[in-house]
Structure 1
């Protein structure tokens, strides 16, 4: 079982549990939940919600257990855990008796390991919280909640960099307010839809086809623009570059996949029948290059999974598209109507299947026609 933890919202920690504060907090949570849902709906994200307050009842017991193990010490009125190699302590109870992020994170970690039996817990926040989670994990290892080394069950922090505007500063609107993700997604979809209509698809396709393709390309463009970069580095946000139909963009890759599907359809062959009866023969160098790249897919997935780096999958997907393009544009590798049509259709289908696997891993919906 794998759990992903996202730091979404925090108002304050409650020492006395004042009803007025709790009502205000609940109202803020509901407003946040409504707005977050708009984003999740567009991104196709499904959550099992357990907010920070869910773990409040478990905090005292966890702190007591750590204290009995001799890990919690008094320091300037607060109760802390000292971590070897780090010159600041992990505060688990503030000097006023209140709890904080560290208290909640330790309780949540205990719950996920003991109640939900998680094997690998992945915390997704900005890189600025790296030290905090490093201290929490080290404290958990001292307490025996987590094993030493990199054995399962384990916990990992996935940090990410900033999205920058073209001025090199944190991405904001002109009035200095941070741009809302839901607005970015809607703008990407609208631009994608406009591009489809400009290409004449409004006359050829149904409104449903236009909408679903605009969703896939627009939302996919935003996802891919983020995931193709090493998550630890900052990157510059640019709509025009994101929706470019050339280069390393979701637009280019989705259309490349759709072109492959078109080739298979134009052959008039039943691809399932071809797969059952056909034989794959890689004689030309471009065929072999494509076949060898396809064989690397499992290794790439393992690397991305082990190091928690989605950009590795993006690099592989883009290179796959480029290698296929070289193969298909070579007159010596003609597919339809050649004496090697069956074998090359199999190669086309294998490429499309692997591309769809990559899209699935990246949370991008493939399109099948252009």
Structure 2
């Protein structure tokens, strides 16, 4: 909500230049920045901030340059760029002389390409803005900023679907408000902490260990629940399913990871040393299945990056966890014995 709010206010305030509007805009930005930073800290996100107002000084020059190239035309009092194959124009200057989303997005794209020398610019918004960015990118190609085809530098739009509640409607609280991410993280952590205490960890671990584990499991569960779905489709959010220790969940992957760490710890060996000096013999079918799946990792990462689909990596990791669990549980593979003899 804040992002959309200060986007609109920044455009209005800088056009009118009213000091009252500027102060209100700055206050909203600071409140938003403070609250967002709390969430970013939890998720380990680091940002280099350049809000939309940063690009305002570049807009007139960019529009002028596009006009000199013959791309900008008059239409019903506005200045627009016509895009082939699309029956509506890209409005870059409104009929009242003001700028809009397209003005800012074109200026930002110009800056990123010419000042920051970006090779691949990825825009992440909801799927409803697909046509808008498609028009911006096509205008940039007409201007010669971007090459034709899929060569570098390039710009891509990454759309995402809606998060739905179990009623099939947009995920909201009981009083119909949109669920805030910070509240979602709090709930996930609290449920994870309760599950740990229920399993008796409260008696074995310190409070600090309980808190850090609840953070890792709870936040990881939220991240994975979002990333494992194809970003273009809507999906239903369910806390119980998200924190389940069976099936395609973060909890299941973390459990497999803990088992692997246990094997390494119990072996008492330096893994890098073993990798450099050891000999790998895959005799059993479960061993070969695990080895062959591991060899696919590079291809999966390349596919995910090329198509901008994180769920491809999630699918791979879930399948890897299943194959590893089968391998680990097979008495013929003797994982525990091998761990002790490494």
TM norm structure 2: 0.94
Q: 1:288 to 1:152 in 2, by over 3 A?
A: same
Which residue of structure 1 lines up, in the alignment, with residue 112 of structure 2?
A: 112
Separation in 2, partners of 1:205, 1:228 = 31
Q: 1:124 to 1:229 in 2, by over 3 A?
A: same
Q: 1:48 to 1:33 in 2, by over 3 A?
A: same
Per-residue deviation, residues 265-306 of structure 1 (Å, max 9, x unmatched): 223444344333321111111111100000000000000000
- 1:309 deviates by 0.2
Q: Does structure 2 retain, via aligned residues, the 8 Å contact 1:71–1:143? A: yes
Moved more, 56-65 or 264-273: 264-273
Moved more, 303-312 or 194-203: 194-203
- 1:134 deviates by 0.1
- 1:13 deviates by 6.1
- 1:43 deviates by 1.0
Q: 1:2 to 1:317 in 2, by over 3 A?
A: farther
Structure 1: gaps (5+ residues): 336-367
Structure 2: gaps (5+ residues): none
Name the count of aligned residue pairs: 338
Q: 1:5 to 1:271 in 2, by over 3 A?
A: farther
Q: Does structure 2 retain, via aligned residues, the 8 Å contact 1:14–1:98? A: no
Q: 1:330 to 1:128 in 2, by over 3 A?
A: same
Per-residue deviation, residues 69-107 of structure 1 (Å, max 9, x unmatched): 000001111000000000000000001100000000000
Moved more, 205-214 or 268-277: 268-277
Separation in 1, partners of 2:145, 2:5 = 17
Secondary structure, counterpart of 2:298 in structure 1: helix
- 1:32 deviates by 1.1
Which residue of structure 2 lines up, in the alignment, with residue 127 of structure 1?
A: 127
Secondary structure, counterpart of 1:9 in structure 2: helix
Secondary structure, counterpart of 2:332 in structure 1: helix
Separation in 2, partners of 1:369, 1:190 = 40
Separation in 2, partners of 1:276, 1:139 = 53
Per-residue deviation, residues 187-233 of structure 1 (Å, max 9, x unmatched): 10111111111111122222222111111110000000000000000
Moved more, 291-300 or 321-330: 321-330
- 1:5 deviates by 17
Q: Does structure 2 retain, via aligned residues, the 8 Å contact 1:55–1:104? A: yes
Q: 1:95 to 1:6 in 2, by over 3 A?
A: closer
Separation in 2, partners of 1:259, 1:122 = 36
- 1:11 deviates by 6.2
Q: Does structure 2 retain, via aligned residues, the 8 Å contact 1:82–1:90? A: yes
Q: 1:281 to 1:321 in 2, by over 3 A?
A: same
Q: Does structure 2 retain, via aligned residues, the 8 Å contact 1:4–1:123? A: no
Cα RMSD (Å) of the superposition?
Answer: 3.6
Q: 1:16 to 1:168 in 2, by over 3 A?
A: same
Q: 1:175 to 1:102 in 2, by over 3 A?
A: same
Q: Does structure 2 retain, via aligned residues, the 8 Å contact 1:162–1:170? A: yes
Q: Does structure 2 retain, via aligned residues, the 8 Å contact 1:2–1:120? A: no
Per-residue deviation, residues 280-337 of structure 1 (Å, max 9, x unmatched): 11111111110000000000000000000000000000000000111111111112xx
Does 1:310 find its partner at 2:280?
no
- 1:151 deviates by 0.6
Q: Does structure 1 retain, via aligned residues, the 8 Å contact 2:11–2:99? A: no
- 1:3 deviates by 18
TM norm structure 1: 0.87
Separation in 2, partners of 1:8, 1:312 = 36
Secondary structure, counterpart of 1:169 in structure 2: coil
Q: 1:3 to 1:174 in 2, by over 3 A?
A: closer
Q: 1:297 to 1:2 in 2, by over 3 A?
A: farther
If asked which structure has higher relative contact order (CA below 8 Å, sep 6+), I would say: 1
Does 1:63 find its partner at 2:35?
no
